Structure 1
Amino acid sequence: MSRIPILFEDGEALVIDKPGGLPIERPRKGGPSLEDHLADLRLGFQRDPVAVHRIDTDTSGCLLLARNPKALKRFAKAFEDRLVGKRYLGILAAIPEENEGTIELALSKISSAEKGWRMIAAKKGKPSITHWQVLGDHDGHALVEFRPETGRTHQIRVHALTGLGIPLLGDPVYGDGKGAPRTMLHAASLIVPREGKPPIEASAPLPRDFAALGFSDG
């Protein structure tokens, strides 16, 4: 079992660089998950750290873990109050006509026997806001920076498809799943403010599968 890189560490928090494809919770069908790594991530503490928020199984990058229950409660409230700065990088399956903008769409969950569950844009859904900017393009694909204000399930994936009209490359639910080994989304940085302490700040380097598609940190 390979070790997971640690991007930030202090007495109440860890930020790890979660590999793409690793689920946070154990899947019903079994298999590897972040739970396999929690004992290693204790780093001398008596209890396992706990994930404060969720990022999709396919999504790589910054994931905040709390090292005690009080910290977990405070950090969870920071996410709930939209105080956390989140920056994602994604590769779109095509190049959008515009270079930047803001997507505001209410999202709702639907489910069907054939397709399972997914999120859709719906007037009666929960409001969601994402700011985006194209950083570059290569071979018909665009590297886009996403800065979500809200943290809805699958928010960036649905906003890419419905707001930009272009799914993330490799997305099997909101796209055709082709062109990449996974949904190409990376949680590049995270800033969590704290009262009386410096903020938690972490950045995760661009993964190898982004580089394989011709994109780099530079």
Structure 2
Amino acid sequence: MTQPEPHPSPVAVRFVEVPADCDGQRIDNFLLRTLKGVPKSLVYRILRKGEVRVNKGRSRPEHRLKTGDVVRIPPLRLSPETEAAPVPGWLQERLQAAILHEDRRVLVLDKPSGVAVHKGSGIDVGVIEALRAMRPQGGFLELAHRLDRDTSGVLVLAKTPEALRGIHDALNARSTEKRYLAFVRGHWQLGSCRVDAPLRKGMVRGGERMVEVAADGKPSVSHFRLVRQFGPGALVEITIETGRTHQIRVHAAHMGHPLAGDDKYGDSDFNRLMAGFGLHRLFLHAQYLALPLGERELVLSAPLGAELGAVLDALEAAGG
């Protein structure tokens, strides 16, 4: 007897607010980027049938989005080949243990290093896909901002469209405060300094896309402050005014103080030295985020994890 074919699984309706880095992007390209793994033919079909809405209105494929637009993505039925990948048990456990704060508006994680915030580029499951799978009845859940895969620390997800819009408004108005801790190469002699160096992405090196300082890049501002000098390098605190891709890593390298464990913009000899002190990841941690949300300010912090703390202990024991 022939077995019936498995019924495709529906994906819940989504409301996605257009971030600043997608301002001016065509709606079709925005959907292809947002719906990684969904066939292109299906993306154009839902556009053609008017199932995608921008600010509650129908949208043609050539429509260009603006920062703050809200895109409604309809429920999609995917074939078994494009269904969401299962969430490994170890990832579920790590994310559950990483929850710092949750209320009706936001979910905040101390994101582990090595875990991407969303799928793509060979990654089947990221933070957002895992949490949606872990909370099938949870309703609206969207990333409010992003962290690089190898960066740990405070990551905020919005549980309502209103919270998502409020967080994006605060980020765009630069009314938030974001602080990071990083370990950089060499003797720090810059005191507290402001780095205003425009960044441009798209350069390809060795098959990988890179970000570089360029006069025609997007405005990018970081503030560095020495926390403590150790033997081979320094622990610094960075406050960022803008949130460009790889901003801290590129600005630090631009100043001659690349981050420890950075295999993209860093110093391979320095990375090998730091591996001897137990560092096997990028030393960059999002330790603090303060942002206005409604009638009160949301203040979030994540202490430096045990892995990075052990590296500092080893440096101190070695005479740092």
- TM-score, normalised by the number of residues in structure 1: 0.89
Structure 2 CA distance for partners of 1:5 and 1:187, relative to 1, 3 Å: same
Question: Percent of counterpart pairs with the same letter?
Answer: 35
Counterpart contact for 1:170–1:181, Cα < 8 Å: yes
What's the offset of the Cα at 1:94?
Answer: 2.1
Q: What's the counterpart of residue 109 of structure 2? A: 16
Q: Deviations over 1:47-96 (max 9, x none)?
A: 15211111100000000110012211221121111111101000112222
* Superposed displacement of residue 139, structure 1: 3.1
Task: Note if 1:169 corresponds to 2:260.
Answer: yes
* 1:110 match: secondary structure: strand
- Structure 1 contact 20–59 (Cα < 8 Å) conserved: yes
More deviation in 23-32 or 120-129?
Answer: 23-32
Larger Rg: 2
Partner of 2:288: 189
Q: Which residue, 63, 75, 80 being the options, matches 2:155?
A: 63
Corresponding position of 2:98: 5
**Distance in structure 1 (CA, Å) of the matches to 2:240 and 2:192:** 13
1:86 equivalenced with 2:185 (yes/no)? no
Question: Could you tell me how far apart the structure 1 residues matched to 2:206 and 2:227 are?
Answer: 37
One-letter amino acid of the counterpart of residue 204, structure 1? A
* Partner SS, residue 63 of structure 1: strand
The residue that corresponds to 1:114 in the other structure is 206
Shift of 1:114: 2.1
> 1:45 offset after TM fit, Å?
6.1
Once the 2 structures are TM-superposed, how far is the Cα of residue 215 of structure 1 from its aligned partner?
5.5
How many residues get paired?
A: 212
Instruction: Give the whole-Å Cα distance in 1 for the aligned partners of 2:109 and 2:131.
Output: 11
> What SS is found at the alignment partner of 1:160?
helix
Aligned counterpart, 2:58: none
**TM-score, length basis structure 2:** 0.62
User: For the Cα contact (< 8 Å) 2:203–2:212, is it kept in 1?
Assistant: no
Structure 1 residues without counterparts, runs of 5 or longer: none
CA distance in 2, matches of 1:28, 1:123: 29
1:211 aligns with: 309
SS at match of 2:175: coil
Cα shift at 1:31: 4.7
- Cα distance in 2 for residues equivalent to 1:62 and 1:45: 24
Alpha-carbon distance in 2 for matches of 1:100, 1:175:
22
Residue 194 of structure 1 aligns to which amino acid in structure 2?
A: L
The structure richer in helix per residue is 2
Question: For residues 149 and 110 of structure 2, what CA distance do their matches in structure 1 show?
Answer: 13
- CA RMSD in angstroms, aligned pairs only: 2.0
Greater relative contact order: 1 or 2 (C-alpha under 8 angstroms, separation 6 or more)?
A: 1
Matched, 1:103 2:195: yes
Structure 2 segments unaligned to the other structure (5+ residues): 1-89, 315-320
